Structure 1
């Protein structure tokens, strides 16, 4: 369901075609490859899940005896049982990302919501907090529309570029380095809300979207390559193994590497592992570039049924037996550096005590400190307390001060922390 306005929508099938109708008296078919006026319908909704659907400035749709949708219901249907009253079900995995927020609020209100969010979520005080705790780098997620600020394509609103400029300025003030992470690519690289998917589908691996994405990398590299706070550029966050073929991804990474090198001979170029059923070694064998290449792995004891019934001890042993052995193998491989670009002090174990969380966090810090490039926690601030790095530190759930890594935070080893002003769950 693509929302156009408060009452206008376009309806897309799982195969990607849109419902279309040539006008009054005609049937409705799922044949349109892209939406326009003929694919735009008005939806009237009752307090419950009942709806009427009509052509824009036209008649209501009804179902015929032969199960065909036609635009010819006579008059205005009531809410009793009739051929023009439908049920609409909002599924449990509905999206709450950047696209949905900006589209749902409308431009003016979304602009105000995001302005207030950016002004309060990450501030210079946060960089002061990072500096006091020995953090020397941040990984900053951005969406593709940042390249079009201050007037990005609808429904997105401007302001992200100013926020990124502020972050670079504050980082420089506190001798903190920045990694720019393209978190949301045109068309969505994984169908999830953090990739700004419009409807849960993955459309990124097409030549047009890939070309657009390379232009965005060019914009970011040209703008920040000479900034003293830049550490590196991550070309794409969490492409889906189910939807993004390896050869397509590697080709994109190679082109992105060359674009960054056009502007900087030394900035790190970070390539993210595919999520799903993918072996990180596939990127070590890809020969993306000659130097300063980093592979980003995301380590969560979540999002997989494998972790559902694990005890606290099981989770901790998994860190030592599985994560540590993989890190050692990748560190020893003849290829890119290893970056644990996302991890969090949270799990599926629902009855964990403070001591359990401390032991789990201590295990992760001890193992991830061995990554040859470093690690980044997701995130600095979050509405879920165990995802909130600042809360974990202040409430002594993450034994950060006793971590061996603290001894090397002020070296050139780029250990760091992730934050995002575009991670919108905080304000929903």
Structure 2
């Protein structure tokens, strides 16, 4: 065979190989495009992949137990909004008490304190306070030296008192300068003149802090004051969750973040007193970061106006549950849902909107909640037919089946269950095997039953790899986490861990993963970040333009 024929055969072979290579590259790029498009679709969560999520708790809604250092600089920080106090006369050795818990006079005649002898603080400044009785009325005085009663429905200057402190002893002074004292007839009066000493006199009381458990947005903002609180929250919001955290989540198979927000976000940048603006800008960043890493976002109304459960993550001022008792509060909540849906409905990173977090079974009647959920569903549907609308079960003594029987919406609806082997005396003194068996014997049947129910999808929106087991070993934590993942992976919508970062290490998702206390297998449906996707598409376009 001469060299000309050999050259032609070689040329033909090279051309054939180039054609095959081009077709292979074309097929590869098209395959990648199809794979990514399907994996990145909201509808795919009906089957696989399901939500494998992490909550961004403690970020845009403050919870002091997640990051206690946020409250370190508050002056008189042990007396913030919601702190529960008791006062005992050092002369009579009797406690200050509201007759019938409030609504009448105040006496100094109780040997043993209970609810009538306990007052909830409304903080005015570092030294000025208002005191709310068990029944809801405020201590008040006319300032003329008469008795002190618990009859004011709302506080003003006559209900505001200075507290002067020396160790565990206090003086309670009115704005006019006179002091409150325990009168000889067991009455609390506001007629002590002069400056009392710290010895045993009628104007001196021992103060006991019964509880100081509320450390939420209200306590932080009102404790520091607007200007300092603004700087504290600016630093917190810019550093507690970052773009690199989204990268970490993506690299460990997480495809969704559930983001708690407070009702004041709809009023950014100047929300009502005492709340601090800036959470909306942070939420916008989260959506941008999510898009970079093909992570979906669930926006969760965690704190409703008036508080739906009385705890700090609902931004309650003093533990009261006022949300269900006010049409205005419910209407404001729907306005927040309208704001969030209109702003994010067409954002490619939005997966769903949760209408309310953890309404209290004791404080929120089911009919009120269902009506709100129905109206909230309609609000979201005005803007999106595909975004999931999520209904959280009531916390406390409530069966989640009640929401399946309520017939709330028909398209892309989800019921959110929160599963903790905590917060219940049932789990006290339980062993590691007890906790693990509870997951399989109690939680698993409920998940299976709700999966088979005719209605919304099932979402384990909060769970944690923590329990009441003392000194649990790493292997025991791994087994407990495995049991939860075995069961919660079966939920028809998926699950979300509480929370990404936390001062308590076993609540901290990042710590659990890095220290191998929670063994989370990489998702077989891990998606390709959008920046990688864009690079692939750009390379493909360049190839077809310059080569093909």
Q: TM-score, normalised by structure 1?
A: 0.92
Deviation at 1:191, TM superposition (A): 1.0
| Correspondence 1:141 to 2:290 | no
| Correspondence 1:340 to 2:457 | no
Residue 215 of structure 1 corresponds to which residue in structure 2? 335
Pick the aligned partner of 2:272 from 153, 178, 191.
153
Alignment map for 1:86-97 (pairs within 5 Å): 86-97=205-216
| Correspondence 1:256 to 2:376 | yes
Contact 1:341–1:376 (8 Å) recurs in 2: yes
Pick the aligned partner of 1:407 from 515, 520, 524.
524
Report the 3-state secondary structure (helix = DSSP H, G, I; strand = E; otherwise coil) of the residue aligned with 1:401: coil
Residue 174 of structure 1 corresponds to which residue in structure 2? 293
Deviation at 1:410, TM superposition (A): 4.7
Report the 3-state secondary structure (helix = DSSP H, G, I; strand = E; otherwise coil) of the residue aligned with 1:295: strand
Pick the aligned partner of 1:320 from 417, 421, 440.
440
Report the 3-state secondary structure (helix = DSSP H, G, I; strand = E; otherwise coil) of the residue aligned with 1:400: coil
| Correspondence 1:132 to 2:251 | yes
Determine which structure has more spread, i.e. the larger CA radius of gyration.
2
Residue 78 of structure 1 corresponds to which residue in structure 2? 197
Q: Distance in 2 between matches of 1:221 and 1:87?
A: 52
Residue 147 of structure 2 corresponds to which residue in structure 1? 27
Residue 13 of structure 2 corresponds to which residue in structure 1? none
Residue 370 of structure 1 corresponds to which residue in structure 2? 490
Contact 1:24–1:59 (8 Å) recurs in 2: no
Report the 3-state secondary structure (helix = DSSP H, G, I; strand = E; otherwise coil) of the residue aligned with 2:162: strand
1:60-116 deviation digits (Å, cap 9, x = unpaired): 111222332222112111111112112221124521122112221222221111111
Pick the aligned partner of 2:312 from 193, 201, 206.
193
Residue 324 of structure 2 corresponds to which residue in structure 1? 205
Report the 3-state secondary structure (helix = DSSP H, G, I; strand = E; otherwise coil) of the residue aligned with 1:58: coil
Report the 3-state secondary structure (helix = DSSP H, G, I; strand = E; otherwise coil) of the residue aligned with 1:222: helix
1:366-408 deviation digits (Å, cap 9, x = unpaired): 1100111110000111111111111111111111027xxx234
Name stretches of at least 5 consecutive residues in structure 1 with no aligned partner: 412-428
Residue 422 of structure 1 corresponds to which residue in structure 2? none
Large movers: runs of 4+ above 3 Å: 408-411
Pick the aligned partner of 1:234 from 345, 348, 354.
354
Q: TM-score, normalised by structure 2?
A: 0.72
1:181-223 deviation digits (Å, cap 9, x = unpaired): 0111111111111111111221111222112211111111111
Residue 217 of structure 2 corresponds to which residue in structure 1? 98
Q: Which moved more, 1:201-210 or 1:1-10?
A: 201-210
Q: Distance in 2 between matches of 1:49 and 1:333?
A: 57
Contact 1:24–1:58 (8 Å) recurs in 2: no
Q: Distance in 2 between matches of 1:409 and 1:26?
A: 71
Q: Distance in 1 between matches of 2:340 and 2:209?
A: 37
Contact 2:143–2:176 (8 Å) recurs in 1: no
Q: Distance in 1 between matches of 2:422 and 2:465?
A: 10
Q: Distance in 2 between matches of 1:93 and 1:23?
A: 29
Name stretches of at least 5 consecutive residues in structure 2 with no aligned partner: 1-120, 529-548
Report the 3-state secondary structure (helix = DSSP H, G, I; strand = E; otherwise coil) of the residue aligned with 1:302: coil
| Correspondence 1:42 to 2:181 | no
Pick the aligned partner of 1:60 from 179, 183, 195.
179
Q: Which moved more, 1:302-311 or 1:23-32?
A: 23-32
Deviation at 1:24, TM superposition (A): 2.2
Pick the aligned partner of 2:233 from 114, 125, 137.
114
Report the 3-state secondary structure (helix = DSSP H, G, I; strand = E; otherwise coil) of the residue aligned with 1:339: strand
Contact 1:358–1:399 (8 Å) recurs in 2: yes
Q: Distance in 1 between matches of 2:464 and 2:321?
A: 26
